[in-house]
Amino acid sequence: MDNDLNVTSFITFAGHVEVEKYRYLYFVIMLTVYILIICSNSTIVYLIWNHQNLHEPMYIFIAALLINSVLFSTATYPKLLIDFLSERQIISYLACLFQFQMLYSLGGSEFLLLAAMSYDRYVSICKPLQYQTFMTKTNVNVLLVVAWLVPACQGVVAVLLSAKKKLCAFTLKGIMCNSTIQKLHCLRTTVLNVYGLVVLVYMVILPTIFILITYTRIFIIAYRSCREVRRKAAQTCLPHLIVLINFSCLSVYDVLLLRLGTEFPKIVSFIMTLQLLMYHPLFNPIIYGLKMKEIYKHLKSLFCKMP
């Protein structure tokens, strides 16, 4: 009976700031950003797919990362655009759980893809003679499947655990269904909290530690090597590190601080959430489009051909 009630319940988003006054401004800005996200990420993916010299593991992982950004944005932007034009910002609990699952599954995939990219760079720079042996097409496909499938399965388990909980509150302080969804439950069980922390450790913390160790090893070897190796390390590794730092900082707010119950002024929470939604998906194609030499070359050629 409780499950049936939960499915038909509606959750109200209370995190919007003066949406009645600025609804059309919000709508235009977010629609413009959403279009830019789709166009910029899709352009880089198209270039990688269309040019044979970009059919290498490093660029394949970049394409996967950009596709992940588009999916992440699509899980939030359409609902936000509807909310800006609506009198009430509401969502069914079932749809809220689905958005929750999508956000955290794709967020976990982001860290795993960055970890796969760091491993690819490590083998390329530190073990160049063994690169073709380690980074085969099969191994690349396995890494991609793991990066998307494992977080998705973890997300489904979290949703199933949450769906069984009875709701005693129907208002979220944010503008999307994030980790604060647990505050709606009448009872917060240890099982769900422990599961969330375990997932956080091996889907976020461990991949981040692996990435940092890997790049530290790369830079140590590059420092001891010739100028060409140092140039290659800086050119291909720095963009990945910048993306990692950017996404990690935004994730700390959404996952850790909100989960710990840290209270923020409404305007601060609103701005931080918008940063996560707007900044990062646009940041990736800019970094990879401008900082990766081969991609930038094809990108420049593409725009030069346009009338």
Alpha helices in 2-136 (DSSP H): 2-8, 19-50, 57-74, 77-84, 93-126, 131-134
Task: Evaluate whether residue 243 is within a structural domain.
Answer: yes
The mean pLDDT value for 175-201 works out to 78
DSSP state of 166: P
Predicted confidence band of residue 164 (pLDDT cuts 50, 70, 90):
confident
Instruction: For residue 135, give every residue at least 6 positions away whose Cβ sits within 8 Å of its Cβ, in sequence order, or none.
Output: 57, 120, 123, 124
Hey, how many other C-beta atoms are within 10 angstroms of the C-beta on 31? Answer: 14
Query: For the segment 47-92, what is each residue's pLDDT rounded down to a tens digit?
Result: 999 888 888 998 999 999 999 999 999 999 999 999 999 888 889 8
pLDDT at 1: 44
Q: In the structure encoding, which two tokens stand for residue 85, read together? A: 């034009």
pLDDT at position 254, please? Answer: 65
Mean predicted confidence (pLDDT) in 247-251: 72
- The reply to whether 37 falls in a domain is no
Rounded Cα–Cα distance for residues 140 and 81 (Å): 36
Residue 294 lies in a domain: yes
225 inside domain: yes
Check residue 138 and give its pLDDT: 93
Tens digit of each residue's pLDDT (9 = 90 or more) over 110-151: 889 989 998 998 898 888 888 888 899 999 999 999 999 999
- For the cut 90, the answer to whether the pLDDT of residue 42 exceeds it is yes
CATH of the domain at 67: 1.20.1070.10
Which two structure tokens, joined as six digits, stand for 10? 């509606």
Of the pLDDT bands very low, low, confident and very high (cuts 50, 70, 90), residue 237 is confident
- Comparing C-alpha atoms, which of 68, 5, 60 is closest to residue 37? 68
Identify the DSSP state of 12: E
What angle (nearest 5°) sits at the alpha carbon of residue 233, between those of residues 230 and 235? 105
AA letter at 258: L
What confidence score (pLDDT) does residue 264 get?
Answer: 66
Residue 281 within a domain? yes
- Give dist(CA 221, CA 233) in Å, integer: 9
Residue 35 lies in a domain: no
| pLDDT for 180 beyond 90 | no
> Cα–Cα distance between 175 and 180 in angstroms, integer?
11
Q: Please determine, for residue 289, whether its predicted confidence score (pLDDT) is greater than 80.
A: no
**How is residue 75 annotated by DSSP?**
T
Q: Does residue 215 sit within a domain?
A: yes
pLDDT over threshold 80, residue 230: no
The 3-state DSSP class for residue 239 equals: helix
Whether 176 is covered by a domain: the verdict is yes
The percentage of the chain sitting over the pLDDT mark of 70, rounded to a whole number, equals 91
Q: 263, 248 in Cβ contact below 8 A?
A: no
Q: How confident is the model at residue 7 (pLDDT cuts 50, 70, 90)?
A: low
pLDDT given for residue 157 in this prediction: 85
Sheet holding 90-92, edge to edge: 90-92, 10-13, 171-172
Predicted model pTM: 0.88
- Which residue stretches of 127-253 are H helix? 131-134, 137-163, 190-200, 206-224, 227-251
Q: 109: closest CA among 162, 63, 66, 147?
A: 147
91 CB contacts (<8 Å, ≥6 apart)? Answer: 10, 11, 13, 79, 99, 177
- Cα separation, 155 vs 108, whole angstroms: 9
Confidence at residue 185, expressed as pLDDT on a 0 to 100 scale: 80
In whole angstroms, what is the distance from residue 271 CA to residue 169 CA?
24
C-alpha to C-alpha distance for 257 and 252, rounded to whole angstroms: 6
Query: At residue 254, what is the residue type?
Result: D
pLDDT score of 249 more than 80: no
161-170, 261-270, 274-283, 294-303: segment of lowest average pLDDT: 261-270
172 beta partners: 13
Which residue has tokens 């990062």?
Answer: 280
The overall average pLDDT reported for the chain is 83
What total number of domains does the chain contain?
1
Q: Which domain holds residue 238?
A: 2-29+42-305
